[in-house]
Structures are given as structure tokens and as C-alpha cells.
A and B are shown apart, each in its own frame.
Chain A
Amino acid sequence: MATRSDVADGEWERPTAFYNRTTKYLVYTAVVAFVLYSLWSIGIPIDRFRRGIGAGIDLVSNMLPPALTPVQFELMVQGIVESILMSIVATTLGIIVSAPVAFMAANNLAPRPVYFVGRGIIAVSRSFHELIVAIVMVKAVGFGPLAGVLALGFKTVGFFAKLLSEEIEDIDTGQMQAIEAVGGSRMQVYLYSVLPQIVPRIIGLSIYRLDINLRHSTVVGIVGAGGIGITLLNSFQKYDFQYSSMIILVIVGIVMIGEAASAYARRRVQ
């Protein structure tokens, strides 16, 4: 590296990721200013904040201990079961649909226009929060678990097709040519050369996604897409906070069990 000889011997400035110190401080100032502006624009009302602390203590004391009536217990179990079922069906559905999308979005297999459609589907699916997809699905197909399955399925497509397409792009093209050379049709090529290479990873990822979908299935009900979420929302609207805390505890429990089971299963598969 050429040293700048015009720099005085007793001067040194730390090189920055920015162009120079001034820019650096400008950027820092801008960031701080923006955060302060955010704070100001949201206009956090001090008195409400103070009252909120009291309300928070009230809420927590209203939540404890978690409790429910037998009828509520039945509702809760129904909701939980529905959530679990939704996550299983949505994961399967999503994986099936994601296979063609993945091939569409693999740049070594798909022709350009198809490739962009595939990438587009993936980008849209990944960009929207599951609850946004869910709220739209509820309007499209009505309240209930079907909307939830479609929403979670759609999110699964984005997740899966992306990983899968990257996997496909990594595939050894030599092997594919070898099979094509012996006269296999394109479909046979996919079946015999592509699939065996990616199956173990697919299984691992499916289990992982099932875990994610289980988490999400517990909340999509808040916008009407089935599962325990709607029960939770109702309990809040009826100020039945002991029931709310019960449901939240059960959700946390289910999520933790799901996480542990998924981690265990993935270790076993690999």
C-alpha cells in the first residue's frame, strides 16, 4: 500500500468504513436524529405510560393464577388440536407445491421468464408476514382453518422453494448429462439424478418447517384463520385474563415441545 508522504508524521486518522470522519459523524448524527424523530413522532404520552405501569401490574395480577372452566378447557383443547392439524396439513401442502416452484426458480434448469415467475412467487411469499397472508386468505375463502392452511402453506412455499432451488442450482450437472446421454426423458432426469441428491436435506427442512408452522398456527387465528388464536383473542376481548394467561402458557409449552421434538428429529435424520 502506498503511504501518503504528505501526511505529517505526527498525524494519524483511523480509517473508517465511511469516506472520512466527517461523513461518519454525519451518518451517526442522522441515525440518532432519526431515532429521536421516531420517538417524537410516535408521541409517547408520558402520563399514559405512567398509568400503563399501574395497569400492567393490574393485568399481571388479573392473569394470575392461570385458570379456566371446563367449557373453556374444551374450547382450548379444540383450538390447540386444530392448530396442530393445520400445521401438519399446511406443511405437506406447501412442500408439494414448492417442488414445481423450486424448479421454476432454479437458474440452471428454468428458462428466463419462468425463472422470474418462480423467483417472484418466492419473494412475495417471503416478504409478507404470515398474518398478512392469513388476513387476505380469510377474505378469500372465509373464516376457519382452511384460510390458515392456505396462508401457512403459501409461506411454506416461499421458504422451501428458495432453499430447494438453491440446492438444485448446486447440483452436479455432470450427473444430469450422464443420464440424459443414455436417453432418459427430462422427467426421468429429474427423478433419477436430482431427487436422490437432495432428499435427506428435504426431510430435515420439512421437520424444521413443521416446527415453524406450528408456532404460526397458534396465532393466525387472531385474524380468523383457525386454531387457538381466536380463542386467545376472545379471552382478551372479554377481559378474561386468567384464561388468556392459561392459553399463552399452553402455547409456550406447545412451541417449546415442538422445538425440542423438531431438533431431536432433525438430529436423527442426519
Chain B
Amino acid sequence: MLTVNDIKKVYDSGDQALKGLSMEVSGNEIVSIIGPSGAGKSTLIRCINRLTEPSSGEVWLGDTEITALSSKELRKARRDMGLIHQEFNLVERLTVMENVLSGRLGYMSTLDAFRRNFDSEDIAKARAVLRRVGLEGVENDRADELSGGQRQRVGIARAVIQRPKILLVDEPTSALDPETSIEVMDLLTEIAREDDIPVLINIHEVDLATEYADRVVGLSDGELVFEGDADELDERAKDIIYRDGQSREERDAAKAEQQASAGE
């Protein structure tokens, strides 16, 4: 389904965020990516739908090579990838309904989009999705009137209404309290099962990852250091991901120190 092939990303700042990473997501599995902050999790997700342009490597979705598409074709391909964001990223001053229906923009003419002239099928679907995520009746509220949990539900609805072939999710719960986090994770995984689509999800907390994921991928300093079923993630594996792979800041500090002592 989704294949990532030897992908690399070097930011303009010189940061090597991904150092040749390959992985696959198939069927309707839920794959979670874990790793310390700065490991490159967000960069990976963003390279898949090319919000961030990868420096090299390939991304395939089905038989489409995402990394080979022109910008027009890329827009089409993005319709098949629902993205759920860490900070929700709803358009604060638009209504909930507009936020949800913005998931259909890729299928609309600009004039219709401007006039908010949505397809009635899409509107009906939006109402259904809102009901599904437990937000019936708030469609006319502005996004900035909602609580964090409600916002992320709208974020899920916006991704789901794209009828995507895969859900890409970047730390969906890091801005939420623990209780709401569990509700959102439940909802997200249930919906993916119902729609029979795979999910690639970045998670900071290992417990949440193992609880919800079929498979876990461990990332450390831009490299894949663990791959296996959720129950294979034992203490040793965690050590590799989190302790051997120190956080980037620690590593940089250590490197600087080394260089300094070498210079003497």
C-alpha cells in the first residue's frame, strides 16, 4: 500500500532529519512510529505527502510514485492521504462545517469553493461524520469556540471525509489531556477499522503506541532502529530507541565536546 524507499531529508539548516529510511504500511494495519523528540517522526509524515520535499528516495502509494508527481498530480494524490495534525490546525475563524468540508476541496472547482457551494452528498456525509465523531449540532460553531478534544475530532472528520486510502497522523494527542487522548485514539482507530484503511501514526508515548498499534516502528536520529509487532517491543528495544539514541540535543552537545577536545 504505502512504501517508503530509502528516503532522506536534509533541511536547509543542514539538519539531517532522515538518513535513508525504508518501511511499508499495508492492508488496514495501524503502524505507530515512536522515537524521542527530534528523531524525525514529523519529517517522515510530511515527506510522505510532500508538505516537506524529501531530499532523495521514493514514496509509493499503491502504484503511484508520489515523489515523481508534478505539483498538479501531487494535489490529486494528496486527496488520498488524510493528514491529522499535532496542533489540530483547524482554520480557527471558519465554521466546523467549513473545516470538515475543506477536506473535499480537492474535488471542487475554485468558484464553488469560494461560494461555499458544496456538493449535497458531501454535506450529508459531513453531517454523518460529525455525528460519528460525536459532534452533532456544532456544525455552525466557529472552530475557535471548541475545546481541544472537540477540535481534534473535527480534525479527524476533515481527514476522514476525504475518503482517503491512508491516514497519516502526527502526534494527535500531544496537545490533549490523558483522558481526552484515550477518547481520541479510540475514535481514530475505530474509524480506520470501519473504513478499512491503514494508519501511520506518530506517537510520543510508548504505552499508547503499543496499546493501539498492530506494528511499531522505532525511529532514532533519522534512522529506523526497530520494527516489529507491538508485543515485541521489550525493554531492550526501548533502550535502543530511547537511550542509545540520545535526544538530538544531547548528541550534538557530546559531538561538540568531542570536537573541542580533539582540537586541543
Contact = CB atoms under 8 A, between A and B. Distances in A.
A and B touch in the complex (CB under 8 A): yes
Interface of A: 1-3, 8-12, 14-15
B140 A1 contact: yes
A6 B127 CA distance: 14
B118 interface: yes
B139 A12 contact: yes
Given A12-B118, A14-B97, A14-B116, A3 B123 contact: no
Nearest to A15: B140
Contacts of B116: 14
A14 B93 CA distance: 12
Interface residues on B, range: 10 to 19
Nearest 10 pairs between A and B by C-beta?
A10-B120, A10-B124, A9-B124, A12-B123, A15-B140, A10-B123, A3-B137, A14-B116, A1-B137, A12-B97
B98 A3 contact: no
B62 to A, nearest CB: 30
Contacts, number: 29
B6 to A, nearest CB: 45
B95 A10 contact: no
B121 interface: yes
A1 B136 CA distance: 10
Contacts of A1: 137-138, 140-141
Contacts of B126: 12
A8 B138 CA distance: 16
B123 to A, nearest CB: 5
Nearest to B119: A10
Contacts of B139: 12
B120 to A, nearest CB: 3
A15 B124 contact: no
Interface in B99-149: 116, 118, 120-121, 123-124, 126-127, 136-141
A12 B136 CA distance: 14
For A11, A12, A15, the residue with the greatest tally of chain B CB atoms inside 10 Å of its CB is: A12
A14 B116 CA distance: 8
